[in-house]
Amino acid sequence: MESVASAPGKTILFGEHSVVYSEPAIAGAVNKRATVKIRRSRNQNTILKSKDLNFEAILDTRKESYSLKHGKPGIIRYILNALSKFHDHTPIEILLSINIPIGSGLGSSAAVTVATLAALFDYHDIPFTKESLAQDAYNVELDVQGMASPLDTIVSTYGGLIYLSREKKPISFTNHINSNFVIGFTTKYGNTGKMVKNVKNLKDAYPNIINPIIEDMGFIANEARIAILKNDISKVGELMNINQGLLDSLGVNTSELSRMIYLARKNGALGSKITGSGGGGSIIALCPHNPDKVMKAINRYDNTLKIKFSKDGVLTKDSI
Ligand SMILES: Nc1ncnc2c1ncn2[C@@H]1O[C@H](COP(=O)(O)OP(=O)(O)OP(=O)(O)O)[C@@H](O)[C@H]1O
Ligand SMILES: C[C@@](O)(CCO)CC(=O)[O-]
Ligand SMILES: [Mg+2]
State the total domains in the chain.
2
Distance, CA 108 to ligand 3 centroid (Å)? Answer: 6
Taking the CA of residue 12 as reference, the ligand 2 atom at the shortest distance is 6
DSSP state of 18: G
Same domain, 202 and 273: yes
Host H or E run for residue 217:
helix 207-229
Host H or E run for residue 260:
helix 255-266
What pLDDT shows up at residue 70? 77
Is 79 within a domain?
yes
Domain range for 192 is: 181-307
Strands 282-286 and 181-185: antiparallel
Which regions of the chain are under pLDDT 50? none
CATH of the domain at 157: 3.30.230.10
Ligand having the closest approach to the CA of 279: 1
Gap between the Cα atoms of 204 and 212, Å rounded: 13
Cβ atoms 96, 48 nearer than 8 A: yes
Cβ neighbors of 188 (< 8 A, separation 6 or more) are 254, 256, 280, 281
pLDDT in tens, 57-113: 999 888 888 888 777 778 999 999 999 999 999 999 999 999 998 888 899 999 999
0.90 exceeded by the pTM?
yes
pLDDT in tens, 139-172: 999 999 888 899 999 999 999 999 999 999 999 9
Compute the chain's Rg from CA coordinates: 19
Same domain, 155 and 19: yes
Distance, CA 299 to ligand 1 centroid (Å)? Answer: 22
Work out whether the CA dihedral 52, 55, 56, 57 comes out positive or negative.
negative
Cβ atoms within 10 A of the Cβ of 97, count? 16
Phi-psi region of 170 (alpha: psi -120 to 50; beta: other; left: phi over 0): beta
**152 is annotated as an active-site residue:** yes
